[in-house]
Structure 1
Amino acid sequence: SRTDRIVFKLFGKDPNHFPNGGLRPQILNWLSHSPTDIESYIRPGCIILTVYLRLEESTWQELQDDLSSSLSRLLAISDDAFWRSGWVYTRVQHRIAFIYNGQIVLDAALPLTSRNHSWIGSVTPIAVSVSEKVQFIVKGYNLSRPTARLLCALEGKYLPQEATSDLLDSEHKEIQCLAFPCSVPDIAGRGFLEVEDHGLSGDFFPFIVAEQDVCLEIRTLESAVEASEFSDDSLVSSDKMGMKNQVLNFIHEMGWLLRRCSLRSRLSHTDLNSEIFPLTRFRWLMEFSMDHDWCAVVKKLLDVLFDGNVGSGEYSSVELAVLDMGLLHRAVRRRCRQMVELLLRYVPKQPIKKGSDRVLFRPDVVGPAGLTPLHIVASSDGSENLLDALTDDPGLVGVKAWKTLRDDAGSTPEDYAYLRGHYSYINLVQKKIEKIADTGHVVLDIPNVPTDINSNQKQNGNLKPTKLSSFQIGKTNVRPIKMQRPCIACDQQLSCRNSSLSLVYRPTMLSILAIAAIDRKGQAKAPRLGNALDRGPYCEEGQERNVINTTRGVCVRTLQQQNNRDAVFEIEMLSFMFTVKRMTTSGKRKQQR
């Protein structure tokens, strides 16, 4: 099906002569209610009725091939003299007919090969913002004739022209270029630029009225229209004509959709189901926009869908219908990161279902053969940026599914990356997994931990411990301290130890506790060691003392650079308490021997 128009010019009549009930029911009855969309414009003077219709291609062909028979049916179903009196001029595509007092006196085809008639080849811009003053550049043939004039129609009205059309220079001698300024009202939808010659209708060209970001993306189609119309190469031109037809079809379909939205917003919620846009046509608009990587247009279409302007077709809900379109899979295959990020973060304005997750597009959504967008990216070369976007979704679903989500063959996205040798993908996701794990907390059960020690308590020796059940350390708040010499010393001690002994020994525990005792603000928390260090074997006494002193020195120097005297005092206390504990334990062992 496609959009075209039927033009009636009724001489000697005015709107007072309209039949009861209007002309729309008669036209729909004449066409057997086959139009899926209809829009009409009436100009004063002798009535010029322009009816834009969306009909099946076979219906248009029937009207054009046998216009006389079609008009005879219109005269037959008319109950009054509106169509049977006076002169009526009719045009369908390139065929015209005249009716006089109910009799068809002329039915002829316009010569398509000659360029004696006025014709519009292209219009720029093809999309304009609402409430904007715009200057259309119209290119075509015979536009500057004294008998020709341009008209702009939008939402049932003809817009006034603000100035006389100016003739501009053109690259082609035969092609004329006119500037047509006018002001666009605050109405989203679709308009038409029409050319009239000798008072009779000529050609027309559609344009879209929408938000600015939507218009900027749609305007990328202008070059394709001009290239198809004004190319010197006939072979290239014939190939590009198909692209032009697709562009015009998109403008018409987008226009019908926006018009439906406008009508529904103006209606008082009565008979809204009759204005629902079909899902099949919406799907074509969405796929066309996705294939051109139009993020703003896709978001506009999704908003229109969830506002209730589109039917669900054979699906139980529009949510299931849009998920079946596989938009995220399509965006991944087109390698469009901006589209992927838009879909992952898109949240409908109205909640989908009460209590359900409002996130519609997830990186773990399953497609054919159980493949998810993660599987597709993991097996594709040069898709690290897409993987980064898929694993950066708001719910962190992509990171969690990387190693667990399996396709029909039982393979995870990580398996695909291994098979294709995409180790950079594996490293990228692994870093994110580790980063998520590092945001947790470590809980050390250390009894009798003092919560606060001020300088007065230190001088008076009055330390009153407060018993806590645990000592929590946020991993992200711990600043690692570089210890080159202690690490070497520890390695040497480990290499000399018996292999049957545990690798965790007291100096290591001391350094961990010393570092953990300092929070992000530089305030010290000094836990009493007590029986907390009564676990694990000792290394030899001299070796242990060297490691303790080295670790203590590194901690003290670091804290002195930060001018944190309280923390230095607490580290010194830790070291002293550990030494006393070690000597006490050593004395007990000698007595036992």
Structure 2
Amino acid sequence: TSLCFFAPIYAAGRVVLDAPLPLKSHRNCKISSIKPIAVSVTERAQFVVKGFNLNQSSIRLLCAVEGKYLVQETCYDLMDAVDPINEQDKLQHLCFLCSIPNVSGRGFIEVEDFGLSSTFFPFIVAEQEVCSEICTLEGVIETAVPTVDINKKEEKMEIRNQALDFIHEMGWLLHRNHLNRKLGDMNPNLNLFPFRRFKWLMEFSMDHDWCAVVKKLLGILFDGTVDLGDHSSMEFALLDMCLLHRAVRRNCRPMVELLLRYVPNEVLDKPGSKQKLSVDGNDYGFMFKPNVVGPAGLTPLHMVASWEGCENVLDALTDDPGLVAIEAWKSAQDSTGLTPNDYARLQGHYSYIHLVQRKINKKSECGYVVLDIPGTPLDCNSKQKLSDGTRSAMAVSLEIQKIKKKARQDGCKACEKKLAYGNRRTSLVYRPTMLSMVAIAAVCVCVALLFKSSPEVLYVFRPFRWELLKYGSS
């Protein structure tokens, strides 16, 4: 039994080291958390390491990225301070600067002593957008405050363990993707990442609404780093994950817009490769469509039509680049034969119906039609048929704008003369009335001027003036 507590190391048949293994003790060093847990490439990052029993003179700190040590310092020299709140637990801080190389992958911060007691903590090296989203897990990974409620404590520890599992798995995936890009087929240890673990990473990222991380994972999937397993094509692998359904369930409009407009930069299409992309016969089309069928024949449109407060997501779904959602709103049926429009009516979501109807009307008013006209006439009697690729190459896309013209009304000359004659008679009938009104107006103006001025009456007596006229009793 004593052999279980010793670690002999042999070299060339000789024992070069025979040291006792340290027993688990409260004095062993331990890292509880680090900040940041994700750093961007070519960045000078400042790490903050929190842990226990880090102030011993025999303990040193190592920082490595993709197998290269960047920092090797004694922990005592990097000691910052002891947290006064956790003075009883002796939670200690270490701070150091580190320049990150231009590689994407994983790194480790390790603390070890000469007593064969060591601990480590992983971190991610990726793009700035990806790192900013992953760093939101720092609050979860922090050491939980002791609580009396055992259930709440277990729940916090479970969330923390899931976050750590994501850091480990994501780092391992980025490491393999980096090796595949660097070595390609020359990699002697080419082991593809299991699809089951990749699916868990994707679901974890979707549940946290990380658009940049999801886009990064999709790029790795199409790079060929992931083993599709039992799926015969990339299409079935994407259908198995139900990413668009999950984004709609999360009511996350940015994620829905990302998936609807996602087009892979590099499509895996190598000779003899089983991982070949085939989505509706279009190798370079959009991967995610609003009419994709999920469990029970439900599409994302069915899901959003049955839930309340999803106007933004419905607006994003019906703005897909292929204009598929507008057509599928009244045509896509589930296993019971109901359409998304029927779901909205049954739930009383008439605002959804009006929103989609406005877009349908707007689409019908669009004045553009795209026609594919063959560049050369085809011989009907020819037995040789052209392939789809040849037809698409010979087709010329013409964009014709429809011009709405008003109907031209043609009339005969007799009708025009009759209309003109009738107009003249109508004007003659109303002419005497106009003259009478002008005469009455002229008389009224003259009377008004007469009473306003001071007229003089020439007679044998003195001149008569209106102002000198007396009134009242004589």
Q: Normalized against structure 2, the TM-score is what?
A: 0.72
Question: SS at the partner of 2:321?
Answer: coil
Alignment map for 1:43-62 (pairs within 5 Å): none
Q: Mark the CA change 1:441 to 1:234 in structure 2 (over 3 Å): closer, same or farther.
A: closer
Residue number in structure 1 paired with 2:23 = 110
Alignment map for 1:471-486 (pairs within 5 Å): 473-474=403-404
Shift, 1:68, TM fit:
4.7
User: 1:350 and 2:261 equivalent?
Assistant: no
Residue number in structure 1 paired with 2:174 = 258
User: 1:389 and 2:316 equivalent?
Assistant: yes
User: 1:144 and 2:58 equivalent?
Assistant: no
- Are the equivalent residues in 1 in contact too, given 2:367–2:403 (CA < 8 A)? no
User: 1:317 and 2:229 equivalent?
Assistant: no
User: 1:580 and 2:413 equivalent?
Assistant: no
**168, 183, 186: which one pairs with 2:99?**
183
Shift, 1:247, TM fit:
1.1
Shift, 1:272, TM fit:
7.1
Residue number in structure 2 paired with 1:223 = 139
Alignment map for 1:20-39 (pairs within 5 Å): none
- Are the equivalent residues in 2 in contact too, given 1:193–1:205 (CA < 8 A)? yes
User: 1:238 and 2:147 equivalent?
Assistant: no
Question: SS at the partner of 2:121?
Answer: strand
Question: SS at the partner of 1:193?
Answer: strand
How far apart are the structure 2 equivalents of 1:148 and 1:190?
23
Residue number in structure 2 paired with 1:167 = 80
How far apart are the structure 2 equivalents of 1:159 and 1:433?
59
Shift, 1:194, TM fit:
0.8
Q: Mark the CA change 1:441 to 1:149 in structure 2 (over 3 Å): closer, same or farther.
A: closer
Letter of the 1:473 counterpart? I
Shift, 1:578, TM fit:
11
Residue number in structure 1 paired with 2:11 = 82
Shift, 1:474, TM fit:
4.8
How far apart are the structure 2 equivalents of 1:275 and 1:193?
26
Residue number in structure 2 paired with 1:248 = 164
Q: Mark the CA change 1:263 to 1:428 in structure 2 (over 3 Å): closer, same or farther.
A: same
Residue number in structure 1 paired with 2:130 = 214
Letter of the 1:145 counterpart? Q
Q: Mark the CA change 1:257 to 1:436 in structure 2 (over 3 Å): closer, same or farther.
A: same
Superimposed CA distance per residue, residues 202-240 of structure 1 (whole angstroms, 9 cap, x where no aligned partner) = 111111111111011111111111143x43547243331
**61, 64, 88: which one pairs with 1:153?**
64
- Are the equivalent residues in 2 in contact too, given 1:264–1:272 (CA < 8 A)? no
- Are the equivalent residues in 2 in contact too, given 1:311–1:318 (CA < 8 A)? no
User: 1:421 and 2:348 equivalent?
Assistant: yes
Superimposed CA distance per residue, residues 426-453 of structure 1 (whole angstroms, 9 cap, x where no aligned partner) = 00000000000011379xxxxxxxxxxx
Shift, 1:180, TM fit:
2.0
- Are the equivalent residues in 2 in contact too, given 1:227–1:240 (CA < 8 A)? no
Residue number in structure 2 paired with 1:562 = none
Shift, 1:266, TM fit:
1.8
How far apart are the structure 1 equivalents of 2:417 and 2:141?
88
How far apart are the structure 2 equivalents of 1:370 and 1:70?
61
- Are the equivalent residues in 2 in contact too, given 1:115–1:141 (CA < 8 A)? no
**243, 246, 270: which one pairs with 2:186?**
270
Superimposed CA distance per residue, residues 92-145 of structure 1 (whole angstroms, 9 cap, x where no aligned partner) = xxxxxx4xxxxxxx5x5622xx42111111111111101111111111111122
User: 1:398 and 2:331 equivalent?
Assistant: no
Aligned length: 374
Alignment map for 1:319-334 (pairs within 5 Å): 319-334=235-250
Q: Mark the CA change 1:154 to 1:234 in structure 2 (over 3 Å): closer, same or farther.
A: farther
Question: SS at the partner of 1:275?
Answer: coil
How far apart are the structure 1 equivalents of 2:418 and 2:202?
75
Shift, 1:292, TM fit:
0.9
How far apart are the structure 2 equivalents of 1:377 and 1:371?
10
Shift, 1:329, TM fit:
0.6
Superimposed CA distance per residue, residues 347-379 of structure 1 (whole angstroms, 9 cap, x where no aligned partner) = 111343474461111000001111000000000
How far apart are the structure 2 equivalents of 1:338 and 1:66?
60
User: 1:434 and 2:349 equivalent?
Assistant: no
How far apart are the structure 1 equivalents of 2:366 and 2:127?
42
How far apart are the structure 1 equivalents of 2:315 and 2:415?
51
Letter of the 1:394 counterpart? P
How far apart are the structure 2 equivalents of 1:129 and 1:430?
45
Q: Mark the CA change 1:167 to 1:413 in structure 2 (over 3 Å): closer, same or farther.
A: same
Question: SS at the partner of 2:354?
Answer: helix
Q: Mark the CA change 1:268 to 1:336 in structure 2 (over 3 Å): closer, same or farther.
A: closer
- Are the equivalent residues in 2 in contact too, given 1:135–1:181 (CA < 8 A)? yes
How far apart are the structure 2 equivalents of 1:246 and 1:342?
25
- Are the equivalent residues in 2 in contact too, given 1:190–1:256 (CA < 8 A)? yes
Q: Mark the CA change 1:214 to 1:314 in structure 2 (over 3 Å): closer, same or farther.
A: same
Q: Mark the CA change 1:404 to 1:179 in structure 2 (over 3 Å): closer, same or farther.
A: same
Identity of aligned residues (%): 53
Question: SS at the partner of 1:137?
Answer: strand
How far apart are the structure 2 equivalents of 1:311 and 1:120?
34
Shift, 1:268, TM fit:
4.6
How far apart are the structure 1 equivalents of 2:96 and 2:415?
93
Structure 1 unaligned residues grouped into runs of 5+: 1-64, 76-80, 90-97, 99-105, 443-470, 476-511, 514-526, 535-576, 587-593
Question: SS at the partner of 1:363?
Answer: coil
User: 1:203 and 2:116 equivalent?
Assistant: no
**329, 339, 354: which one pairs with 2:255?**
339
- Are the equivalent residues in 2 in contact too, given 1:165–1:181 (CA < 8 A)? no
Question: SS at the partner of 2:213?
Answer: helix
Shift, 1:269, TM fit:
2.0
- Are the equivalent residues in 1 in contact too, given 2:22–2:117 (CA < 8 A)? no
Q: Mark the CA change 1:201 to 1:70 in structure 2 (over 3 Å): closer, same or farther.
A: closer
Letter of the 1:437 counterpart? S
Shift, 1:181, TM fit:
1.4
Question: SS at the partner of 2:97?
Answer: strand
Shift, 1:324, TM fit:
1.4
Q: Normalized against structure 1, the TM-score is what?
A: 0.58
Shift, 1:84, TM fit:
4.0
- Are the equivalent residues in 1 in contact too, given 2:292–2:299 (CA < 8 A)? yes
Q: Mark the CA change 1:417 to 1:272 in structure 2 (over 3 Å): closer, same or farther.
A: farther
How far apart are the structure 2 equivalents of 1:211 and 1:148?
32
How far apart are the structure 2 equivalents of 1:247 and 1:360?
29
Superimposed CA distance per residue, residues 154-188 of structure 1 (whole angstroms, 9 cap, x where no aligned partner) = 11121135995241452421211111211111111
Q: Mark the CA change 1:397 to 1:175 in structure 2 (over 3 Å): closer, same or farther.
A: same
Q: Mark the CA change 1:198 to 1:237 in structure 2 (over 3 Å): closer, same or farther.
A: farther
Residue number in structure 2 paired with 1:366 = 293
